[in-house]
C-alpha cells in the first residue's frame, strides 16, 4: 500500500495495489477498485465544478448504496469536509445539522432529497443533489446526469493529515446533536489499527448491513477499501438475505450489532447455511449477553470479537486481536497508539487501581479535535491534557481488558443506536398539551432498550398516547420515537427541582 495522507486518497492507493479486483458489491452494482477510483474522481470533479472548495462542508444523507461510497471519497478528494448523517433523521433534524455545520452542498437519495427540497431556503446550502434516475423538481440536481459528464481523472491537492476531515453528529445530550470534528489522521489511524487488530487483508470478504454514516459502519467501509478487501454492502439487514450472502460470497467476516446476531440465531434455517468460510465476526453498538456470544461462536464456527467505539473517536476505541485472547463480556483493550484508563468519576486526573469502578477515558490521535462551534461542550468532554471523557462507567483488569459496568448516563441504546432522553424531551415538551416530560427506558428483548415518555399534562388538557407518538414521529428519527407513553401526576425531582430520571421506573404502571 502506498503512503496515504488523507481519506480521499484511499481509493487511489487501493486501485494502484488491487486494480480490477472487486472492491464493492451491492444488489444493483459491482465495482472494482479501479472503477471506484474513477467514479470518486468524477464526483470530485463535479463538486469542484459546482464551486466546492477545500474546507466546504458536504452533507451525505442516504442509506447504503454505491453512490454513497463514491460521494464520500469524492467529496474528501476535493479537500471538503464530509458530514455523513443518519438516513433516519427527519427533515427538521437534517435542517438543524446542515445549518449547524454550515453545509454548502447536500447529496441525498431521491426520496430524501425530495423530503428536504426546501433546505436551500432555510440554510446556506447552495446545491441539493439527488441519486437515481427518477424525475426531479426544479432546484434539485441529478447526480447520475452530472456524474456522466465528468472526468475520471482528478489530482488531489495538498491536504494536511491533521486537518478537519469529518463532522460526525452525535445524538443530542442537551436537546440538540453535537458535531464531533475528526481529522484525516485520526480516522486513518483508527482504520489502520482496527485492521491490525483484526488481521484484515485482501484475502478477506466482509458482509455487513451496518449504515455507512455510523462510525462502526464507516470504519468497516474504510477498512475494507484501504486493505483490499471485498465489501458486500447490504442496504438493510434481513437475516435470511445476510445468511445467504455469507454463503454465496464465501465471506470471511460478518460485522454487526447484537440485534442482528439475535435475529440470525433465531432463524429456523440457520444451520442449513454454509458459514464455514467465516474466520471471525465482530459485534458492537450495545452489550451482548455472554451466552449468546458463545452460541454465535458455536453455530457460526468462528470467534466473535467484541468492540467499542464512539463518534468522538471516529470509530473504535477498544477491541480484541483476532489471533489473541478474547474475554467475552469485555470490550477489549485500547487500540495501538491509543491509551485507555479508568478515572475517578469526581477527579478526572486520578487513575483508579485495577478492578475499581470509574469512568473510561481515552487519549490519542483518534480523539476528536472538538465539538463544532461548541467550546463549552468541548471543554466538558476533553481535558486540557487530551484525555476524552467517554461517560461510560467501567473497570479494567490486569490484562488491560475493559469491562463496561454501566452505559453513558441516561443514554438509551436501541438496536445499536444512541438515543438521548433530553433530545426526545425537547420535542415532546413542544406539544401544546404537555406541561412536563421526562424520558426513561424500558427493556426490549430484540432491541435492548426502548424509550418511554412520562408526561404531566397541562391543566384541563387530555392528550392521547397516539397523539404524542404521532407528534414525535414528525420531529424525530423513527428509532428515537418513544414506544411507550405514560401520563402521570408529577415527576420525581431533587430538592432543586431537577427531574431524577433514574427514579422514573418507580412510576411504572
Band the pLDDT of 308: cuts 50, 70, 90: very high
Grid cell in block for residue 428: 415532546
Assess contact for 234 and 64: CB atoms under 8 A. Answer: yes
pLDDT cut 70: percent of the chain above it? 97
Q: How many CB atoms are located within 10 Å of the residue 428 CB?
A: 24
Lowest mean pLDDT of 186-190, 229-233, 262-266, name the range: 262-266
DSSP 501: G
pLDDT at 171: 66
User: What is the mean predicted confidence (pLDDT) over 198-205?
Assistant: 97
Q: Specify which residues 59 forms β-bridges with.
A: 83, 106
- Angle, helices 239-249 vs 258-265, to 10°: value is 90
Half-sphere CA count of 218, side-chain side, radius 13 A = 26
Give dist(CA 385, CA 392) in Å, integer: 19
Residue with cell 453513558: 408
pLDDT at 496: 39
pLDDT at 497: 46
pLDDT at 406: 63
Q: Please say if the pLDDT value at position 290 is more than 90.
A: no
Q: Please say if the pLDDT value at position 483 is more than 80.
A: yes
By DSSP bridging, strand 179-183 and strand 164-169 are antiparallel
Band the pLDDT of 1: cuts 50, 70, 90: low
Q: Is the dihedral of CA 204, 210, 214, 215 positive or negative?
A: negative
SS3 category, 9: helix
Assess contact for 123 and 104: CB atoms under 8 A. Answer: no
Q: Please say if the pLDDT value at position 235 is more than 80.
A: yes
pLDDT at 419: 83
By DSSP bridging, strand 434-444 and strand 448-457 are antiparallel
pLDDT at 445: 83
Which of 83, 242, 250, 293 lies closest to 170, judged by CA? 83
Band the pLDDT of 346: cuts 50, 70, 90: confident
Residue with cell 458535531: 179
Radius of gyration from C-alpha coordinates of the chain: 23
DSSP conformation letters of 338-404: EEEEEE-SS-TTPBPPTT--EEEEEEETTS-SEETT-HHHHHHHB-TTSPEEEEEEEEE-TTS-EEE
Band the pLDDT of 469: cuts 50, 70, 90: very high
SS3 category, 155: coil
Q: Please say if the pLDDT value at position 495 is more than 50.
A: no
Grid cell in block for residue 188: 486513518
- Angle, helices 215-226 vs 66-77, to 10°: value is 80
As to burial, measured by CB atoms within 10 angstroms (0-12 exposed, 13-18 middle, 19+ buried), residue 296 is buried
Give dist(CA 26, CA 74) in Å, integer: 19
User: What is the mean predicted confidence (pLDDT) over 49-69?
Assistant: 97
User: What is the mean predicted confidence (pLDDT) over 364-385?
Assistant: 96
pTM: 0.85
Assess contact for 119 and 94: CB atoms under 8 A. Answer: yes
Band the pLDDT of 263: cuts 50, 70, 90: confident
Higher pLDDT, 225 or 135: 225
Across all residues in the chain, what is the average pLDDT? Answer: 92
Q: Is the dihedral of CA 102, 106, 112, 114 positive or negative?
A: positive
Lowest mean pLDDT of 90-94, 169-173, 299-303, 383-387, name the range: 169-173
Q: Which domains are seen in the chain, by residue range? A: 7-185 (3.40.50.980), 186-406 (3.40.50.12780), 412-507 (3.30.300.30)
Report the C-alpha dihedral over residues 270, 272, 273, 274, rounded to 10 degrees.
130
397-419 pLDDT tens trace: 999 999 987 666 677 888 888 78
Q: How many CB atoms are located within 10 Å of the residue 464 CB?
A: 11
162 to each of 103, 180, 183, 187, 213, how far by Cα in Å?
21, 15, 5, 10, 21
pLDDT at 174: 54
Amino acid at each position: 500500500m502506498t503512503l496515504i495522507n488523507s481519506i480521499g486518497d484511499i481509493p487511489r492507493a487501493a486501485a494502484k495495489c488491487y486494480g480490477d479486483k472487486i472492491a464493492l458489491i451491492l444488489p444493483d452494482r459491482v465495482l472494482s477498485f479501479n472503477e471506484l477510483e474513477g467514479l470518486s474522481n468524477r464526483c470530485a470533479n463535479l463538486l469542484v465544478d459546482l464551486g466546492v472548495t477545500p474546507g466546504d462542508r458536504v452533507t451525505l444523507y442516504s442509506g447504503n448504496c454505491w453512490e454513497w461510497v463514491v460521494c464520500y471519497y469524492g467529496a474528501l478528494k476535493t479537500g471538503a469536509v464530509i458530514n455523513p448523517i443518519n438516513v433516519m433523521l427527519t427533515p427538521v433534524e437534517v435542517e438543524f445539522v446542515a445549518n449547524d455545520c454550515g453545509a454548502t452542498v447536500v447529496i441525498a437519495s431521491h426520496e430524501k432529497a425530495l423530503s428536504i427540497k426546501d433546505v436551500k431556503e432555510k440554510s446556506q446550502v447552495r446545491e441539493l443533489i439527488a441519486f437515481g434516475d427518477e424525475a426531479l423538481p426544479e432546484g434539485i440536481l441529478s447526480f447520475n446526469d452530472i456524474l456522466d459528464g465528468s472526468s475520471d481523472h482528478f489530482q488531489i491537492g495538498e491536504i494536511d493529515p491533521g486537518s478537519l476531515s469529518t463532522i460526525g453528529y452525535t445524538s443530542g445530550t442537551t436537546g440538540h446533536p453535537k458535531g464531533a470534528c475528526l481529522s484525516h489522521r485520526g480516522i486513518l489511524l483508527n482504520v489502520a489499527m482496527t485492521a491490525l487488530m483484526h488481521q484484515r487483508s485482501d484475502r478477506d470478504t466482509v458482509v455487513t448491513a451496518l449504515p455507512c454514516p455510523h462510525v462502526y459502519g464507516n470504519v468497516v467501509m474504510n477498512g475494507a477499501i484501504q486493505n483490499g478487501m471485498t465489501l458486500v454492502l447490504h442496504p438493510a439487514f434481513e437475516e435470511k438475505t445476510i445468511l445467504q450472502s455469507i454463503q454465496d460470497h464465501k465471506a470471511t467476516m460478518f460485522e454487526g450489532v447484537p440485534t442482528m446476531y439475535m435475529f440470525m440465531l433465531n432463524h429456523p434455517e440457520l444451520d442449513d447455511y454454509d458459514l464455514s468460510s467465516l474466520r471471525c465476526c465482530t459485534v458492537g453498538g450495545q452489550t451482548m449477553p455472554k451466552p449468546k456470544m458463545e452460541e454465535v461462536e458455536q453455530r457460526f464456527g468462528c470467534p466473535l470479537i467484541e468492540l467499542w467505539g464512539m463518534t468522538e473517536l471516529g470509530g473504535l476505541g477498544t477491541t480484541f486481536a483476532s489471533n489473541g485472547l478474547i474475554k467475552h463480556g469485555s470490550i477489549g483493550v485500547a487500540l495501538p497508539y491509543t491509551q485507555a484508563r479508568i478515572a475517578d468519576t469526581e477527579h478526572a486526573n486520578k487513575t483508579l487501581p485495577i478492578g475499581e469502578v470509574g469512568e473510561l477515558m481515552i487519549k490519542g490521535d483518534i480523539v476528536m479535535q472538538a465539538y463544532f462551534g461548541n467550546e463549552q461542550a468541548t471543554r466538558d468532554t476533553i481535558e486540557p491534557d487530551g484525555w476524552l471523557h467517554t461517560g461510560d462507567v467501567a473497570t479494567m483488569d490486569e490484562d488491560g481488558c475493559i469491562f463496561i459496568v454501566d452505559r453513558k448516563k441516561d443514554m438509551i441504546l436501541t438496536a445499536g443506536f444512541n438515543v438521548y432522553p433530553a433530545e426526545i424531551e425537547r420535542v415532546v415538551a413542544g406539544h401544546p398539551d404537555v406541561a412536563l416530560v421526562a424520558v426513561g427506558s424500558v427493556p426490549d428483548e430484540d432491541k435492548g432498550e426502548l424509550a418511554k415518555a412520562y408526561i404531566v399534562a397541562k391543566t384541563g388538557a387530555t392528550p392521547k398516547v397516539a397523539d404524542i407518538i404521532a407528534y414525535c414521529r414528525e420531529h424525530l428519527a423513527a428509532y428515537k420515537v418513544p414506544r411507550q407513553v405514560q401520563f402521570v401526576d408529577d415527576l420525581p425531582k431533587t430538592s432543586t427541582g431537577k427531574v431524577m430520571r433514574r427514579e422514573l421506573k418507580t412510576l411504572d404502571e
